[in-house]
Chain A
Amino acid sequence: MKFIPALKAIALAGALSLALGGAASAVTLHMHNGGEPGSIDPHKVSGDWENRVVGDYLEGLMTEDENAEAIPGQAASYTVSEDGLVYTFKLRDDAVWSDGEPVIAHDFVAAFQRLMDPATAAEYAYLQYPIKNAAAINAGDITDFNELGVKEIDEKTVEITLENPTPFFLQALTHYTAYPIPTHLYDKVGDSWTKMENIVANGPFKLVEWLPGSHLKAIKNETYYDAANVKLDEVFYYIQDDLQAALQRYRSGEFDIMTDFPSDQYGLLESQYPGQAHVDPFLGVYYYVMNQDNPKLQDINVRKALSISINRKVIGPDILGTGELPAYGWVPPGAANYEGDTYAPAWADEDYGTRVTEAKALMEKAGYTADMPLTLQLRYNTNDNHQRIAVAVAAMWKEIGVNVELFNSEVAVHYDALRAGDFEIGRAGWLMDYNDPINMLDLLKTGVDNNYGRYSNEKYDALLNESNATLDLVKRAGLMHEAEAIAMDEFGVIPIYYYVAKNVVSPKISGFVDNAADIHRSRWISKSE
Chain B
Amino acid sequence: MLGYAFRRVLSALPIALIAVTVAFFILRLAPGGPFDGERALPPDVLANLRAHYNLDQPIWMQYFIYVKGVVTGDLGPSMVVEDFTVSQLIAIGLPFTLMLGLTAFVSATAIGMLAGVVAAVNQNKWPDYALVLVVMLGVVIPNFLMGGLLQLVFGVYLKWLPAGGWVNGSLPHLVLPVTVLAWPHAARISRLMRGSMIEVLGTNFIRTAKSKGIGERLMLTRHALKPALIPVVSYLGPGLSYLLTGSLVVENIFGLPGIGKYFVTAALNRDYGLVLGTTIFYVALILVLNLLVDLVYAWLDPRVRFH
Contact = CB atoms under 8 A, between A and B. Distances in A.
Whether both chains belong to one complex is answered with yes
Interface of A: 1-3, 5-7, 9-10, 14, 17, 36-41, 44, 46, 118-123, 125-126, 138-140, 194-195, 210-215, 238-242, 244-246, 248-249, 251-254, 409-417, 419, 428-429, 449-450
A44 B92 contact: no
A225 to B, nearest CB: 28
A409 B268 CA distance: 11
A238 B270 CA distance: 23
A122 B45 contact: yes
A120 B80 CA distance: 15
Nearest to B262: A213
A416 B36 contact: yes
Contacts of A10: 92
Given A2-B85, A118-B45, 17 more contacts: A2-B87, A2-B91, A3-B88, A3-B91, A14-B168, A37-B81, A39-B81, A39-B83, A212-B84, A214-B166, A249-B164, A251-B163, A411-B36, A413-B31, A415-B38, A419-B40, A449-B42
Interface in B118-168: 147-148, 151-152, 155-156, 159, 162-166, 168
A330 B256 CA distance: 41
Contacts of A122: 45
B281 to A, nearest CB: 10
Given A44-B82, A252-B156, A252-B162, A245 B151 contact: yes
B253 interface: yes
Contact of A213 (B73, B82, B162, B251): B251
A122 B82 CA distance: 12
B101 interface: no
A428 B37 CA distance: 11
A234 to B, nearest CB: 13
Contacts of B36: 411-413, 415-416, 419
B276 interface: no
Contact of A212 (B38, B73, B89): B89
A191 to B, nearest CB: 9
B257 interface: yes
B48 interface: yes
A245 B155 CA distance: 11
B290 interface: no
Contacts of A429: 38
Contacts of B92: 6, 9-10, 211-212
A496 B274 CA distance: 36
B33 interface: yes
Interface string B240-275: 000000000001111111100100010011100000
A251 B155 CA distance: 8
B89 to A, nearest CB: 6
A441 to B, nearest CB: 16
Q: Which of B36, B38, B83, B261 has the most CB of A within 10 A?
A: B83
Contacts of B34: 412
Interface residues of B, number: 60
A415 B82 CA distance: 21
A350 to B, nearest CB: 33
16 contacts: A3-B88, A9-B92, A41-B83, A125-B42, A138-B45, A139-B44, A213-B257, A214-B257, A240-B164, A246-B255, A248-B163, A254-B163, A410-B32, A411-B36, A415-B37, A449-B43
A240 B36 CA distance: 22
A6 B152 CA distance: 35
B217 interface: no
Given A3-B87, A119-B48, A413-B32, A248 B148 contact: yes
A214 B165 contact: yes
A345 B38 CA distance: 28
Contact of A7 (B41, B43, B83, B91): B91
Contact of B147 (A38, A245, A411): A245
Contacts of B212: none
Given A1-B74, A254-B162, A248 B151 contact: yes
B195 interface: no
A245 B42 CA distance: 36
A253 B151 CA distance: 12
Contact of A412 (B33, B41, B255, B258): B33
A38 B165 CA distance: 20
A138 B155 contact: no
A448 to B, nearest CB: 8
A447 to B, nearest CB: 12
B210 interface: no
Contact of B82 (A6, A38, A210, A450): A38
Contacts of A417: 31
B163 to A, nearest CB: 4
Contacts of A449: 40-43
Contacts of B96: 213
A245 B149 CA distance: 10
Q: Which of A2, A44, A249, A252 has the most CB of B within 10 A?
A: A252
Contacts of A14: 168
Contacts of B254: 245
Contacts of B49: 121
Nearest to A123: B41
B52 interface: yes
A238 B163 CA distance: 13
A-B pairs, 10 with minimum CB distance: A412-B32, A449-B40, A213-B257, A214-B257, A252-B155, A121-B48, A413-B32, A252-B163, A6-B88, A248-B151
Interface string B268-296: 11100000000000000000000000000
Contact of B255 (A121, A245, A428, A450): A245
B307 interface: no
Contact of A6 (B44, B87, B252): B87
B72 to A, nearest CB: 9
